[in-house]
Amino acid sequence: MTTTTRRRPRLIATDLDGTLLCTGGTVSERTAAALAAAEAAGIQVVFVTGRPPRWMQQVSPHIGGHGVAICSNGGAIVDVRRGELLETFPLAVADTLTVITTLRAELPGTAFAFEHPRGWAREPGYELRMWGDDEEHAVAPAEELLADGRVDGLFKLLAKHPDLDPDEFLARARRVAGHLAEITRSAPVPLLEISSLGVTKASTLASWCREQGIDRSEVLAFGDMPNDLEMLAWAGSSYAVANAHPEVLAAVAQHTVSNEQDGVAAVVEELLLSTPQGSNS
């Protein structure tokens, strides 16, 4: 593990799946203890995840005193304990339709799903593979869902392809539609996550920190996938876990051990031991 951080942060921003969580989406005892110790030391811990708000109850016991998480790659801020959306950053319907039309033309076979304030919806061709997919949801062509208001307030568009390489899928989608929306990925399958232009984990985290009076230099971030890159670049100090995507490992100077080895906890434990409370250097 490469550790160069000396300043104690005021806020820890961590991705969940593949970073903080073990396989199966669980929080280890060691990680839970490290998060609690950070909060006890006055360091705010914020989960910044690609997960939609409806997938956050599993981690609610570890959310911290504020109860707030940044979900859907910055598309929504949610009070996890109260199950309440505090703020969303929706995609415009016209822009969404243009993205869908463009990706269908460039990448035939792509199917779409929609995360919105009341749940989610999908096209008939969007294959169900993820946990939570069995929740009640609308199924119809994208144009119909957008036209009749069933996905009003859409804050995350998902695009799935049956057989493309995930990185190729991302690269080609960004080439033809990256000027229309933020396009990224975090899954091991060809699944794209699309937000309104300018909405990323970094943008929403920056807004949250401004409201809290926290400077970016006082933020420590952790991540593993391309959807974390903007956040890792924005934060004053950042770590990639050892199992991170090669692009993330190349972009982030500081590395910790894998999520299965409690990489976030390892850094937080060392940080709390090496920097007395109130230390700025």
Q: Report pLDDT digits (tens) over 220-271.
A: 999 999 999 999 999 999 999 999 999 999 999 999 999 999 999 999 999 9
Provide the H-helix boundaries in 180-262: 201-212, 229-234, 246-251
The partner residues of 70 in beta bridges, in order of sequence, read 48, 77
The pTM is what? 0.92
Q: Which residue has the higher pLDDT, 278 or 54?
A: 54
pLDDT-based confidence at residue 5 (cuts at 50, 70, 90): very low
Of 5, 12, 3, give the one whose Cα is nearest residue 214.
12
Q: What percent of the chain has pLDDT over 70?
A: 93
Say whether pLDDT at 22 is over 70.
yes
